[in-house]
């Protein structure tokens, strides 16, 4: 367990200490041509870290963690050591995703189509259904197996140990979504897993309606947004099942999430993602709020596009920070803003 914690911390430190991609050590005036052509500090750092991630993957760590997560079959309220182990293990996966993002010379946009991952991390996580973390979280929260959702028995509230496991698991999900959104949506949208995700999101939103836990609530909201953005099938998942549905729970959050600008920035991009070009979801949302609010939110962001671009489109190799995480451009593709604004303004017949 200690090694997992240390590894997660090391990954975080590597992300934070990554040199600027254009940095080059100062060379003396009589520098040789070889020195002039030497790779920059950033390139050398990226290459070494990619090798590190590749080694972690090829050594079978993802598979071993998957086996660990799949072995969890119940709650962790009375098992603080197990809860700590799960937190550190998911923290390591989150750190690996953030580090992989930072060093693979990717464009900063979550919606970039250039998704080349030479480390093999993305493929390994996709092949193992996110290393079994979804299965683990389902069993911890609902005390049933993913293969048989009818055995689920959600609680109204969860212990602090369980909440911390859920927060770290969702942070991993969101980091992987930023790394490869199509892969994330494909895994969580698969038959069986999509229903498990719906149950998880609904139960955690239910917990947050009873107990104030902003960090957990915000991770759930962001994750639902990534799950549904530009994905009609996944949009249908969040408006299916027992009422209140996941979408309805989001629309029934406290009034502050519709009035406080800080909280509006958290919630509205997820609602936009879940309802864009989906008349059924839009109609369900209209039962709780006016969709014109979403159109106004998009318009406000579009009018300050220069400022938003400065915050959300960083140089290549940067990783998502806690605030960048919530920017509209990182949660809904900017090229679709105007179309979405028109969609939410349109009155359905």
Q: What angle do CA 16, 320, 343 make, to 5 degrees?
A: 175
Per-residue pLDDT of the chain (349 residues; tens, 9 = 90+): 677 778 877 887 887 777 764 444 444 455 555 555 556 777 888 899 999 999 999 999 999 999 999 999 999 999 999 999 999 999 999 999 999 988 875 566 788 877 788 999 999 999 999 999 999 999 999 986 555 555 555 667 899 999 999 999 999 999 999 999 999 999 999 999 999 999 999 999 999 999 999 999 999 999 999 999 999 999 999 999 999 999 999 999 999 999 999 999 999 999 999 999 999 999 999 999 999 999 999 999 888 765 545 544 454 445 566 667 778 999 999 999 999 999 999 987 6
Q: Quote the tokens at residue 290.
A: 């006016």
- Residue that has been written with the tokens 């041509």 in this structure: 33
Residue 126 makes CB contacts below 8 A (sequence gap 6+) with: 180, 183, 186, 187
Q: Which of 250, 279, 289, 284 is nearest to 266 (CA)?
A: 250
The per-residue DSSP string of 175-238 comes to: HHHHH-HHHHHHHHTSTTHHHHHHHHHHHHHHHHHHS--HHHHHHHHHHHHHHHTT-HHHHHHT
Instruction: Tell me the residue length of the chain.
Output: 349
**Distance, CA of 141 to CA of 72 (rounded, Å):** 11
């Amino acid at each position: 367990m200690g090694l997992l914690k240390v590894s997660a911390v090391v990954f975080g430190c590597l992300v934070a200490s990554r040199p600027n991609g254009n940095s080059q050590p100062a060379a003396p005036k009589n520098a040789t041509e070889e020195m002039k052509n030497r790779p920059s500090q950033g390139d050398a750092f990226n290459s070494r870290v990619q090798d590190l991630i590749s080694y972690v993957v090829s050594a079978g760590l993802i598979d071993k963690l998957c086996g660990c997560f799949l072995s969890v079959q119940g709650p962790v309220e009375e098992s603080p050591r197990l809860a700590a182990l799960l937190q550190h293990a998911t923290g390591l996966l989150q750190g690996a995703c953030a580090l992989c993002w930072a060093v693979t010379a990717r464009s900063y946009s979550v919606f970039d189509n250039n998704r080349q991952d030479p480390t093999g991390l993305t493929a390994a996580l996709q092949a193992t259904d996110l290393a079994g973390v979804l299965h683990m979280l389902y069993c911890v929260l609902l005390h049933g197996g993913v293969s048989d959702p009818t055995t689920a028995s959600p609680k109204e509230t969860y212990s602090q140990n369980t909440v911390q496991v859920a927060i770290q698991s969702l942070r991993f999900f969101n980091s992987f979504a930023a790394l490869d959104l199509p892969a994330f949506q494909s895994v969580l949208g698969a038959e069986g897993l999509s229903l498990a995700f719906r149950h998880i999101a609904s139960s955690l939103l239910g917990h947050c309606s009873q107990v104030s836990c902003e960090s957990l609530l915000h991770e759930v909201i962001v994750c639902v947004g990534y799950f549904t953005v530009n994905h009609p099938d996944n949009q249908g998942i969040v408006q299916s099942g027992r009422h209140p549905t996941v979408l309805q729970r989001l629309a029934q959050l406290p009034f502050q999430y519709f009035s406080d600008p800080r909280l509006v920035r958290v919630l509205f991009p997820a609602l936009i993602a879940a309802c864009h070009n989906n008349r059924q979801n839009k109609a369900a949302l209209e039962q709780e709020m006016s969709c014109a609010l979403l159109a106004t939110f998009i318009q406000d962001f579009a009018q300050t596009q220069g400022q938003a671009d400065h915050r959300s489109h960083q140089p290549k190799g940067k990783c998502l920070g806690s605030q960048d995480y919530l920017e509209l451009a990182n949660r809904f593709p900017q090229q679709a803003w105007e179309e979405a604004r028109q969609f939410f303004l349109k009155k359905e017949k």
